[in-house]
A = this chain, B = another copy of it.
């Protein structure tokens, strides 16, 4: 057993009050990991609260325990509970409210390769495809109790971060851990429906609008769309609902890079970028002061949307592979 894992086991055993926190704008792995770990610790008889800068989310309301996620309080809870950060690559991403507590997390469980190890105990495995995978494996290796509710939450963490086991360099271990979560009571069919077939009719209309706006460039090797500031209002949606829509542009075989530009203000543009496994898209995000993963990056550019779009096309062009 590694030293970090031994320390983590000790932290779990020797304390009774825990707070679990994850990153702002939480996704399925942030929620799944937080809630899954909370159930595990509760089964061990511990007092656990789950905080998030953004509070609970309707999107994951089908997960038991999801609606008991609380908005991070401004003051730290009394009793100095141990703080565990999950799926959060930097301490800053735990949110402003947590920063106000002026404390350092006791543990940091994560799979992001750029996690600098900001906590007292850092249990980081960049080979894992989701933090939920690390927690499922840790529970198994330490013999911690895993109820059906924990298994479901962790399954959803893996499901979302692996995009339903697709387009990722899956390891056999990930599939085997997912199998073990099904054995522990996660219902793969229902969880997959709830996770992926959850569009509101408005969101469907937003998708339709985005596909209608999609343009192709550079011999169809680039696909992109532009969102105006008023589109969400017009379709009755929010910016969270546009998440993952670049996947649809990537359906096209010739597309090597897909991006979107979203007008946040007259001089502010949100950029999101995706690329095929062969292309490292991070330099393009870095050009605009952003960052992220090799094949999925983003930035906020202090530029008008049309100018950001122009520079993006210019920056992406030299990265494209020739079509033979």
Contact = CB atoms under 8 A, between A and B. Distances in A.
Copies in the complex: 2
A201 B249 CA distance: 10
A199 B252 contact: yes
A71 B190 CA distance: 40
Nearest to A176: B179
Contacts of A119: none
Given A164-B164, A212-B208, A182 B172 contact: yes
Interface residues of A, number: 46
A323 interface: no
A199 to B, nearest CB: 4
A207 interface: yes
Interface in A184-214: 188-190, 192-193, 196-201, 203-204, 207-208, 211-212, 214
A28 to B, nearest CB: 13
A168 B189 contact: yes
Contacts of A182: 170-172, 175
A220 interface: yes
Closest 4 CB pairs of A and B: A172-B179, A175-B179, A170-B188, A166-B192
